[in-house]
Amino acid sequence: MTGPERPDPPGEENPGAGPAGPGPAGEPPPARRRRRDPLAATLIGVLTLLLGFALAVQVRNADEAQVLAGAREEDLVRILDELDSREERLRSQLAEQRAALRELNGSGSQTGAALEEARQRAERLGILNGTLAAQGPGMTLTVRDPAGTVQVSDLIDVVQELRGAGAETMQVDDVRIGHSTAVTGAPGELVVDGTPLRSPYEFVVLGDPQGMETAMNIPGGVVQRIERRGGSVEITGSPELVVDALRPLDRPQYAAPDTE
Amino acid sequence: MIPILGLAAGVLLGLVFDPTVPLWLQPYLPIAVVAALDAVFGGFRARLDGIFDAKVFVISFVSNVVVAALIVFLGDQLGVGAQLSTAVVVVLGIRIFGNAAAIRRHVFRA
């Protein structure tokens, strides 16, 4: 494997030795030659430096890698088996957690969306029914009835015309008009939902002011009829009105939701 | 003196820089180190015997490393890399033991 070695005797190989015994003719004694050769000294230094470097690196490297590399085959198989089963366990755990996360996410967004939907629906119904105060653009419509001649049907017509013209919710004096509002009584002593009205009757209506005003003033409409009876109607549009009279929510006595 | 200094400096450098051995070199580095160690022991013994030759040392050092790496490489190609590595280490180990024994005889006269 090395230069000047002879196969015999065992234990006598000496790489780095000059030719043992009789050196080639003309070669100076090796011991003296070493001193005189700076190139050889440099080479030796470099080689031994490399050796030391590689040695240290390999030792470090072996520290890290040799733990498994030095293990026996059966041990390696056992370790591999353990790692495999552990991986499988962790994978199944991961799948479970993923499924749970998906479920939670799905149900969370579902209930959230349903809640939001229900809330909006309740708001719309509340405004429609008069259980919620409302605000927005609209108009005030004041019916003066100095002679006490405005009839029940006139007020009902006012309400119906307003609804037909796009009124979304309204109140008269401090009574909210809902879907079951009743106007009763005699001219001059009108009663709305059991609350007596005093002239002037002041409607606060939320809706499109222009459309409602046009509908009110239509020839032969409710305003003209009231004026014919001796009353007067004053309409004032407004960009910001508040309808804050509330109606109790009727609990249906006979009708129940059809759940099918 | 130079070899000892070189060894010490090399070990220090290796410890300081602590480089990662590239993957292709990993099978050969330990064999190369053992081969080089064999050359160094041989050189030390030759020095004690008074027959040290720098040229022979350098050539034997390099050829030791190259041949050892070649054998392992060949073994890898043949599919018996691990066995040939073991063989190389055993042979070099025996040689190191022999050289160490010769050095011991010189140093301790026993």
* Sheet of strand A195-196, all strands in order from the earlier edge strand to the far edge: A183-186, A189-192, A195-196
A56 and A152, same domain (yes or no): no
Q: Given this model, what pLDDT does residue A69 score?
A: 64
Helix (H, G, I), strand (E, B) or coil at A176: strand
In 3D space, the residue among B54, B58, B43 whose CA is nearest the CA of residue B100 turns out to be: B43
Asked whether residue A4 carries a pLDDT value surpassing 70, the answer given is: no
Give the residue numbers spanning the domain of A38: 30-64
Structural contact between residues A209 and A180, judged by C-beta atoms closer than 8 angstroms: no
Within a domain: A58: yes
A140 and A236, same domain (yes or no): yes
Within a domain: A45: yes
A219 and A139, same domain (yes or no): yes
Binary contact (B40, A53; C-beta < 8 A): no
Nearest CA in chain A to B4: A48
- By Cβ distance, the residue of B13, B32, B42 closest to A14 is B42
- By Cβ distance, the residue of B14, B58, B97 closest to A52 is B14
Residue A139 bridge partners (DSSP): A205, A237
Binary contact (A55, B51; C-beta < 8 A): no
- The CATH code of the domain that includes A202 is 3.30.70.1880
A55 and A139, same domain (yes or no): no
- The DSSP secondary-structure symbol of A170 reads E
Q: Which of A14, A27, A59 to mutate to test the interface with B (most CBs of B within 10 A)?
A: A14
* Sheet of strand A175-177, all strands in order from the earlier edge strand to the far edge: A175-177, A169-172, A201-206, A134-144, A232-243
Please give, rounded to a whole number of angstroms, the shortest distance from the CA of A66 to a CA of chain B: 11
Where do the structural domains in chain B lie, given as residue ranges? 22-108
Mean pLDDT (chain B, rounded): 88
> Mean of the pLDDT values across residues B7-33?
84
Residue B52 CA to residue A31 CA, distance in Å, equals 6
Enumerate the residues of chain A whose CB falls inside 8 A of the CB of residue B3.
Answer: 44-45, 48
Nearest CA in chain B to A34: B54
Q: Given this model, what pLDDT does residue A34 score?
A: 46
Binary contact (B14, A55; C-beta < 8 A): yes
Helix (H, G, I), strand (E, B) or coil at A182: coil
A53 and A152, same domain (yes or no): no
A69: contact with B, CB 8 A cutoff: no
> Mean of the pLDDT values across residues A138-159?
87
Mean pLDDT (chain A, rounded): 80
% of chain A residues with pLDDT over 70: 82
In 3D space, the residue among A201, A213, A150 whose CA is nearest the CA of residue A171 turns out to be: A201
Please state the separation of Cα A154 from the chain's center in Å: 52
Asked whether residue A72 carries a pLDDT value surpassing 50, the answer given is: yes
Read off the pLDDT of residues B31-66 as tens digits, 9 standing for 90 and up: 999 999 999 999 989 988 888 888 888 899 999 999
ipTM for the predicted complex: 0.82
Domains identified in chain A, total number: 2
% of chain A residues with pLDDT over 90: 14
